[in-house]
Structure 1
Amino acid sequence: MESEPKESSDLLRPRNKIEANGNLNHEEAKGPPDGGVRAYSVMVASFLTNGLFFGVINSYSVIYTVLEKHLKDEGVSNSESRAALVGALTMGTTFFLSPLSGVLTGVLGIRLTAVLGGTIATAAMLLSSFFVYNVSVLYFTYGVMYGLGASFAYTPSLAILGHYFRKHLGLVNGIVTVGSSIFTVIMPPLMEYMIKNHGLAWLFRLLAVFTFGSAICGFIFKPTPSMVLKTAREDDSWKSLLKSVVNVQIWKNKKYRLWALSMPVALFGYFVPYVHIKKYIENNFVDVNTNLPLQCIAVTSGLGRLIFGFLADKPGIDRILLQQISFYVIGTLTIILPFVNTFGFLVAIALCMGIFDGAFIALIGPIAFELCGGAYAAQAIGCMLGLAAAPLSVGPPIAGYLYSLKKSYTLPFVLAGISPLVGATLMFAIRFQRVPPNEESINTNGVARPASVLVEKSPSPLLINGDANQQTNL
């Protein structure tokens, strides 16, 4: 692989100079090209990376039903929770390692980190094919190892977009994240076909081939020279790296702190429907397409990401309120889910859940940018996702355990729905926090204050015109 410019400069160098438009010493540099063959190739590669990983992760319910049945036939106790933990670990690990992935991107570079992530995930899926019914091994291979690879590939696939797009970055980000929705529609029937005709082992091998495609996509993620800054002095690098990992600056922001601590509560039950909805349908409905509700969630989630991503860019929009509304709707519909008696109504609920699922995801980046500013938004997102990893991981296994006790999904789905309601309610505390008079707001709907304000009042490590952050949306 040809050597590439590292992004480590932004993480490792001492931040003791004001920068103008992302350039030290006011150096002139060309901005992102906002078009061209290479820029669109990067967009397509990012789209495929998002789709390949989250298409597999979101479709775990297909694998869950097979593993759960096998464990039950083997007489294994708590078969529901044990099978659910495999997929929950994948999601949890992907989020938990987001801060590490961001730092690694700065140290190794975007392209190398993405290729490394795709390679690790491919090896994980290939190893899983040799231990298809050994759940203890799958905890590591399919759960932790695949999640590690997904995390290392996912962050670069978003960070690279800021190197090639600025004017239409929001729209491009929406298009890229829709990849996970499209692949979540495609994956369930394909996975079901493979399991039925070739077995679970060959499904994992096919997914390994698909996942290797993300490593190939990683080779396209070459940073543009105009977005790379000069490196720090070597004697300061490790000290600065430590500061980038343990960033206390964002935690001094009370509004961010309340938001970041509310999100794990809201996300405790988020992944439960993705894992258990197929099993729930099999238990309660006959002669229906068991994959259809999950596919409906995926389709309308993509639509929701585009709609609410567009709304988030509008002046005067309260992004936190929009996210609260999305959690209230998701929580309420999850509670209603086990009381539905008709499949058509279940599909309607899935469609609505998808819209607001897309809203929640699309608003994470803009909220982090608004609360912490461009210079800290990426780390703010990574820290929040890291905190949310544990609740995301334990929610589905707990739901499976409760189902094994009651043989009903009523209690698991009700509890899963309550957590978004509680998390959204906790976010109201953000509105009671006042910004101190001497603490200037960095952003208004993603637009930085004039350069003169920053230079005069805040010799801080923030970049003028808000260009420090190359990509903040998920």
Structure 2
Amino acid sequence: MLGTGTALSAGAFTPTLVRTFEGSREAVAWVGSLHAGLAFMAGPLSGVLADRFGYRNTIILGGVLASSGVALSACVTKLWMLYITYGIMGGIGVCFTYIPAVTLLGSYFHRWKYVAFSIASTGVGVGTLIMPQYIEWLLEEYGWRGAYLLTGGLMLQMVVCGVIMVDLPKPSPIITSNSKKVQPLSILTNWKFNLFLANNYLFNFGSLILFVFISDFAELQGLSRKQGSCLISVIGISNSLGRATNSLLGVFTWNRTILYIISCSLSGISICLINLPLACPNPCFFNLAISCAAYGLLFGIQLGNQAIVTDIISGVERLNSAFGISMLLNGVGAISGPPVAGLMYNVYGRFEPAFYIAGGSVILAGLILLPMLIGQDNSASSTKTSIGSLSDLNRLEVQSPPIHRSAIELYHRSLTSIPCKYASYRVLPDS
């Protein structure tokens, strides 16, 4: 909630930073885009540290780094200094807390693992709901320096969260004479995965434009700074509703790839609709809030299916490398989008072209995945897991590197109803 909520609320600072440093919106955009982008891009480094020093220690390190970076932002005198403190230090720190926490959560639960993931993921929506209002209040009461300092102090609570977490012992791996090592980059030969990477880049390219500039856009339309920050909160609460909606849709065994494509494309349309209130002589908060709510709802559904689609494409034996590479592309998109939008504002003097580019990018992110549906099995079973038979389980033993016994058992306990050859009992699905 604190880490991702702060990252997605960086736009609340944008209007104040533009006025304070008298810089271009392109230059100011780098502050929020670096913070959000590195929260994704540092994922592989976060995994290496977690394996070497433990999840608990990595989370503590991330909390200290994120808190220090945001707090030090109160002392800067030049805009480029914010790139280092808030952007680089804060972004990497958030990644070091978020990624290990999610991974460690999976080791705490067996039968209810995916329920735990769903509950924990609501923290993103709650953080995006609360943090913009908290930052707005700090800006009014203490100015931007005080806002950075107190926000950094609040983020220090992530260290407390890390302290109370306990690393579980890793189970011993299964080693067979037929085991073969899976090359980490072999997933890049999969054309569907390459389309998925393009989707990740385009979606974050457009989405971060909205998060970074929506408050600034609202102020330029005559709304108050508080109303601008409320728009980010609207996205946050509707995002949580979208995740809940996605859980309900999963009960009806919808094809998750189709659901992902539809929600992704429609969220791009909702970004384009933000420009429609400009046709009215007096744009009101309600009009913008409807568009932001629609985006947040669809964004929540899309994110709820992202991990599932990754698993469908890559398979469990290459899931870790697929996640790492996709996070890298997510980060590149998040970093590159807002500066491009700021440059377009400098050229045209208004945000309409930038929001149309953002919406078009997200729409294209969804449509680019349509070829994946060719020849796909749309049955209910195919939407649950990419491993659905004993032959697939046997394939894991032959083609994958040493696999943890508990990982295979938990994976099939959660997703399938087939007998697990590595256990002495029949694995049952969640119900």
Residues 1:120 and 2:65 are matched in the alignment: yes
Q: Does the C-alpha gap of structure 1 residues 343 and 192 become closer, same or farther in structure 2, counting only changes over 3 Å?
A: closer
- Identical columns (%): 24
Q: 2:244 aligns with which of 299, 303, 306?
A: 306
1:204-259, CA deviations, whole angstroms, 9 ceiling, x for partnerless residues?
Answer: 2211211111112112221333xx123899xxxxxx9xx89x71232233322321
Shift of 1:147: 0.8
The C-alpha deviation readout for 1:99-156, integer Å capped at 9, x for no partner, is 221232222211111111111112212221211x421111111101111111111111
Please state which structure has a larger fraction of its residues in helix: 2
Contact 2:172–2:404 under 8 Å retained in 1: no
Partner of 2:417: none
Contact 1:268–1:416 (8 Å) recurs in 2: yes
Q: 1:321 to 1:452 in 2, by over 3 A?
A: closer
Matched residues in 1 for 2:132 and 2:88: separation?
Answer: 22
Question: TM-score w.r.t. structure 1 length?
Answer: 0.77
CA RMSD of aligned residues (A): 2.8
Q: 2: CA distance between counterparts of 1:456 and 1:368?
A: 19
Q: Are the aligned partners of 1:374 and 1:466 in contact in 2 as well (CA < 8 Å)?
A: no
Residue of structure 1 aligned with 2:12, choices 18, 40, 62: 62
Query: Please, which runs of 5 or more residues in structure 2 have no aligned partner?
Result: 278-282, 415-431
Match of 1:100 in 2: 45
- For residues 388 and 90 of structure 2, the distance between their equivalents in structure 1, rounded to whole angstroms, comes to 41
2:341 aligned residue: 399
1:389 aligns with 2:331: yes
Describe how 1:53-452 pairs up with structure 2 within 5 A: 53-72=3-22, 76=23, 79-131=24-76, 133-225=77-169, 228-230=170-172, 247-286=184-223, 289-312=227-250, 315=253, 317-340=254-277, 341-432=283-374, 445-446=384-385, 448-451=387-390
- Partner SS for 1:57: helix
> Once the 2 structures are TM-superposed, how far is the Cα of residue 469 of structure 1 from its aligned partner?
6.7
Q: Structure 1 residues 453 and 80, CA, compared in 2 at 3 Å: closer, same or farther? A: closer
Query: Residues 168 and 391 of structure 1: is their aligned pair in 2 closer, same or farther, counting only changes over 3 Å?
Result: same
Give, in whole Å, the separation in 2 of the partners of 1:297 and 1:463: 39
| Mapped partners of 1:468, 1:378: distance in 2 | 16
Query: d(CA) in 2 for partners of 1:151 and 1:82?
Result: 23
Task: Quote the Cα distance in structure 2 between the aligned partners of 1:163 and 1:457.
Answer: 20
Q: Deviations over 1:360-392 (max 9, x none)?
A: 211111111222233432331221010121221
The CA deviation at 1:450 is 4.3
Give 5+ residue unaligned stretches, structure 1.
1-50, 234-239, 436-441
Secondary structure in structure 1 of the residue aligned to 2:111: coil
* Partner amino acid, structure 2, of 1:282: E
> CA 1:419–1:365 in structure 2 vs 1: closer, same or farther (change >3 Å)?
same
Note if contact 2:264-2:366 (Cα within 8 Å) is conserved in structure 1.
yes
Q: Tell me the residue number matched to 1:455.
A: 394
